[in-house]
A and B are shown apart, each in its own frame.
Chain A
């Protein structure tokens, strides 16, 4: 009994975040979190939502885009974690635990931002479950993301206990995989079922969200994995090094390419459409914005081109840079997606002769920083106390050459 318990225990994988660097970053992230949260709360308590730049003609702004980014990145991380845990892609084991933990905290951070955006957040806790409006996609968003969180936590506790391949761990892994698909697919339908918002109205939006969600998830995974090792690959265990020079960069390149393909087909059909609520969004808002064009070129096209080169995509510095660029590029995509569905006025001829303009306010930016800094704080705590770099024992103890061959 004692022996089996010992086998179940996780072993600490040393990384730089467990030392003074981790504490330093934790303090810095904590300060940003407290400052941004304090600013947001003061603004919300003194000015309410008048401190937002949203309006009744454009009700969903940057906080919704931030939530969307985080929720989909979380789903993407959950889907990557299912590669080894559900589908048996063993070379991904070294990142599985970090993936699940990141998926959990990224979702929590997104939900925190959404909570601060709502008009009456605490009312939600009883009003949604008691009224059971099953026709509403937003009702199901609550159900599926709550289940998603639960399964992520459960799955993490299994890995924390050293159960990588047990029957229960597999079952929880499958449940979590389905939960992720339901949650992010349903999140897409919140937009995709709105026939009165033609820029969003798209039956294939769940596929677009899955794909782009995984891309942002891989970007987060690459960045945080390198951060944990001080951006030095030689400090990583051999199995992780093998993954980061083998399967993962190839997957990352393919995902960025697929994301670009999705954007391209949406843009082509949008530009071809005579419907001003689609066509004008592309011509008068998205492609008319230097910021959108820059985010598309620098945040997705450039990373894709760089990642096409086998020698470049295996470099640590390039991977981190690409992860950061993709993070910014996809954040911009989420922002322009959310706002783009609303910029053509529904009914406001005289009062709104042009497209509705919107720039996030300081309060709305502060909510975005709340999300990012909360994510960092929780992640650093996780690295410090939860041994996120853990992997199955046979993999951790295998020689470097053997890992490279399996990757």
Chain B
């Protein structure tokens, strides 16, 4: 079985948020429940300040701290699904400990105050145990893997679009949107990336495009000191996250 990994080239990424939009449409996520979003930072002071951005999906860690802390094994890493980390919505008790333990802040408890008003959950109330039921819904649903629209009281997260990836023919090394044979199986954020800043493939195959890029261009993983060993790698300048500084303190510095 492949070990699915993603490479994000920050030298190519334009911060256009097409990935964010594609993800939310593919997975029917609520406003604010961004399984994939682009975070913007600025570093330095005028006139030498730099604008930076960082696209951020779930890192599908090799050694995921969210899995270790979950008291019910609702969140688990599935080696038979390419090492993707899932949340079983039938087992999740909503203790939110995995959200505390995730160093990347990529888990969501969607049953919370709405980011925008009116609350879209009230505009499209649930009719089948889901948190809400929008008029268009991805027909793919697998609550054991946290795919579909979640019920209330559980944690949700990016699944690397496993409902697409799982249909890829056995033995495929690269899921490249330029390859007509496999483009339907490519995760939504990768397929929609206009500047082709994202690559998706098998980290266990040394010939895969993702491995070649990581090797040739010194791919890095975020917050490696936590030991989570993400299966998402970043390339290019700015492949790091600056230390947090509150906005009002930057002027004091």
Give me the interface of A with B, judged by CB distance under 8 Å: 48-50, 52-57, 59-60, 118-121, 123-124, 127-128, 131, 133, 135-139, 141-142, 190, 194-197, 276-277, 280, 284, 341-342, 344-351, 353-355
A190 to B101: give the CA distance in the assembly, Å: 10
Pairs across A and B, CB under 8 Å, 12 listed: A48-B111, A54-B109, A60-B100, A124-B72, A127-B93, A131-B91, A136-B68, A196-B102, A196-B103, A341-B100, A345-B244, A349-B241
Q: Which of chain A's residues have a CB closer than 8 A to the CB of B247?
A: 353-354
Q: Which of chain B's residues have a CB closer than 8 A to the CB of A120?
A: 92-94, 153-154
**Contact of B102 with A131 in the complex, beta carbons under 8 Å:** no
Task: Decide: A127 near B113, CB < 8 A? Known: A59-B100, A119-B153.
Answer: no
**Contact of B71 with A276 in the complex, beta carbons under 8 Å:** no
**Contact of A346 with B92 in the complex, beta carbons under 8 Å:** no
Q: Tell me the residues in window 85-112 of chain B with beta carbons closer than 8 Å to chain A beta carbons.
A: 91-97, 99-112
A49 to B131: give the CA distance in the assembly, Å: 11
Q: Which of A139, A276, A354 contacts B248 (CB 8 A)?
A: A354
**Contact of A136 with B244 in the complex, beta carbons under 8 Å:** no
Q: Which of chain A's residues have a CB closer than 8 A to the CB of B100?
A: 59-60, 194, 197, 341-342
A118 to B93: give the CA distance in the assembly, Å: 6
| CB of B41 closer than 8 Å to a CB of A | yes
Main secondary structure of the interface of B (DSSP, over half): loop
Please name the residue on chain B nearest to A141 by beta carbon.
B71
Q: Which of chain A's residues have a CB closer than 8 A to the CB of B246?
A: 280, 284, 353-355
| CB of B7 closer than 8 Å to a CB of A | no
**Contact of B69 with A137 in the complex, beta carbons under 8 Å:** yes
Q: Which of A50, A56, A121, A194 contacts B93 (CB 8 A)?
A: A121
Q: Which of chain B's residues have a CB closer than 8 A to the CB of A138?
A: 69-71, 95, 97
- Given known contacts A127-B71, A136-B71, A349-B41, what 7 new A-B pairs fall within 8 Å (CB)? A120-B92, A133-B73, A136-B97, A196-B223, A197-B100, A344-B244, A346-B104
A210 to B100: give the CA distance in the assembly, Å: 23
Q: Which of chain A's residues have a CB closer than 8 A to the CB of B93?
A: 118-121, 123-124, 127-128
Please name the residue on chain B nearest to A64 by beta carbon.
B96
Please name the residue on chain B nearest to A275 by beta carbon.
B243
Q: Which of chain B's residues have a CB closer than 8 A to the CB of A139?
A: 71
Q: Which of chain B's residues have a CB closer than 8 A to the CB of A56?
A: 32-33, 99, 105, 107-110, 112
Q: Which of chain B's residues have a CB closer than 8 A to the CB of A277?
A: 244
Most buried by A among B32, B33, B153, B242: B153
Q: Which of chain B's residues have a CB closer than 8 A to the CB of A57?
A: 105
Give me the interface of B with A, judged by CB distance under 8 Å: 32-33, 39-41, 54, 56, 65, 68-74, 91-97, 99-114, 119, 152-154, 223, 226-227, 241-249
A135 to B63: give the CA distance in the assembly, Å: 13
Q: Which of A50, A54, A118 contacts B119 (CB 8 A)?
A: A50
A57 to B96: give the CA distance in the assembly, Å: 11
Q: Which of chain B's residues have a CB closer than 8 A to the CB of A348?
A: 39, 105
A136 to B76: give the CA distance in the assembly, Å: 12
A49 to B244: give the CA distance in the assembly, Å: 29
**Contact of B71 with A133 in the complex, beta carbons under 8 Å:** yes
Please name the residue on chain B nearest to A190 by beta carbon.
B97
**Contact of A127 with B226 in the complex, beta carbons under 8 Å:** no
**Contact of B102 with A276 in the complex, beta carbons under 8 Å:** no
A163 to B84: give the CA distance in the assembly, Å: 57
Q: Which of chain B's residues have a CB closer than 8 A to the CB of A135?
A: 68-69
Please name the residue on chain B nearest to A195 by beta carbon.
B226
Task: Decide: A350 near B40, CB < 8 A? Known: A56-B33, A60-B100.
Answer: yes
**Contact of B92 with A52 in the complex, beta carbons under 8 Å:** no
**Contact of A347 with B154 in the complex, beta carbons under 8 Å:** no
Q: Which of chain A's residues have a CB closer than 8 A to the CB of B56?
A: 347
Q: Kindly list the 3 A-B residue pairs having the minimum CB-CB distance in the complex, ordered from nearest.
A: A119-B94, A119-B153, A350-B40
**Contact of B92 with A119 in the complex, beta carbons under 8 Å:** yes
Q: How far is the CB of B245 from chain A (nearest CB, A)?
A: 7
Most buried by B among A54, A133, A284, A345: A133
Q: Which of chain A's residues have a CB closer than 8 A to the CB of B241?
A: 347, 349
A267 to B213: give the CA distance in the assembly, Å: 45
A50 to B226: give the CA distance in the assembly, Å: 31
**Contact of A345 with B153 in the complex, beta carbons under 8 Å:** no
